Amino acid sequence: MSDQHSPIRSFGRLKSRPIKPRQAALLETLLPKVRVPPGPVESQGLMPAARETWLEIGFGGGEHMAAQADLHPDVLVLGAEPFHNGVASALRHLDERGLANVRLHDGDVRDLTGRLADASLARIFILFPDPWPKSRHHKRRLVQEGAVAEFARLLAPGGRLRFASDWAHYVDWSLQRIAANPAFRWTAENADDWRTPPADHITTRYEEKRLGDCAPVFLDFVRN
């Protein structure tokens, strides 16, 4: 399948270490309450008073997603993550903060985005996704031309897309593909705009581990 037509797809492990008892209990009790229901996804049905709807693709342990939802209680925050342990961790954050404005999709993000209407999102976050550094695995990267086209469909005019990574090649790869789509405008005006975390960014424990080959880079785009 060519890069241009590659859909959004989640790759990687679905489960690793044993899940702690408290988180396992939340998978049984809380997840069914906050899981995005089947069928077309409409904010009016999930959160009638929502000012906007945001999506985080691959929320990891859920720290950033939960913190943003806590800071913006009038925003419906959708999160997609196939990694079972990450979902369990996110549920703990939702439970501890008592958040009522988050809905989770515990699976491939394509199953969620395909049910979202055109121009239904105000923000999309893709933060430190799996870089798939080996050349033969680049086709597994989330950011492909087809995925960028889907982001453009989902974002309303003036909506924002943020990509962050600490792998230099993935940063260059993503910048080329997103900037090549005329629906997006890169907001950076100088080097500090991508080297310095945005004012509204929430640093996570994963980010602090610095597992990549460069300092974190933040690419912000606006939907034309």
Q: Could you give the residue numbers annotated as active site?
A: 130
Residue 102 is classified by DSSP as E
Buried b (16+ CB within 10 A) or exposed e, 147-169: bbbbbbbbbeeebbbbbbbbbeb
- List all residues 6 or more positions away from 140 whose beta carbon is below 8 Å from its beta carbon: 9, 11, 130, 132
Q: Are 41 and 112 in contact (CB under 8 A)?
A: yes
* Closest to 110 measured CA to CA, from 84, 129, 139, 82: 82
Q: Are 142 and 174 in contact (CB under 8 A)?
A: no
Q: What are phi and psi of 219, to 5 degrees?
A: -110, 115
Judge residue 53's burial from the number of C-beta atoms within 10 Å of its C-beta, 0-12 exposed, 13-18 middle, 19 or more buried: buried
DSSP assignment of 16-28 equals -SPPPHHHHHHHH
Q: What is the spatial distance between Cα 219 and Cα 10, in angstroms, rounded to a whole number? A: 21
Q: Are 166 and 212 in contact (CB under 8 A)?
A: yes
